[in-house]
Amino acid sequence: MSITNKIAIIILADPKPGTDEALGRLFNALVTAYDAKQRGDQVDVVFQGAGTRWTELITRKDHPAHALYEAVKDNIVGASCGCADVFGATSAVKDNGFTLLKEANIPGTSGVASIAGRLADGYRIVTF
């Protein structure tokens, strides 16, 4: 019997500056998700912080990471709602069909994705 890992991939990199490093982080996050998925692991991909801005970009067919996005989109849990609010990405998240995550009630926010909740559920957290 094989043991399946539970992996939560949290994408925090901000695409707004348009740096190669940010694209590299996104690319490697999606590569890790794809690799883990192919190995039979349970994978959750979450856009958090400024990373919520990627939801507007990766859905475009001409984006360099679009094919990877398509390959793992069933593993994308969503984008942190409070983070999307703070970083101006709420409309992009909604318009591109991503779920707004409100798993943790944090004062001063509309709710955020819960990293602590995923740790409690036995996930290994990988951030990009």
Domain ranges within the chain, ordered by starting residue: 6-127
**CB contact at 8 A, 6 and 124:** yes
pLDDT of residue 2: 61
Q: What is the pTM of this model?
A: 0.94
Residue 1 pLDDT class (50, 70, 90 cuts)? very low
pLDDT tens string 56-103: 999 999 999 999 999 999 999 999 999 999 999 999 999 999 999 999
User: What percent of the chain has a predicted confidence (pLDDT) above 90?
Assistant: 93
CATH class of the domain at 6-127: alpha beta
Beta bridge partners of 127: 10
Closest alpha carbon to 47 in 18, 81, 80: 80
User: 61 is written with which tokens?
Assistant: 């067919």
18 vs 86: CA distance, rounded Å: 19
**CB contact at 8 A, 3 and 40:** no
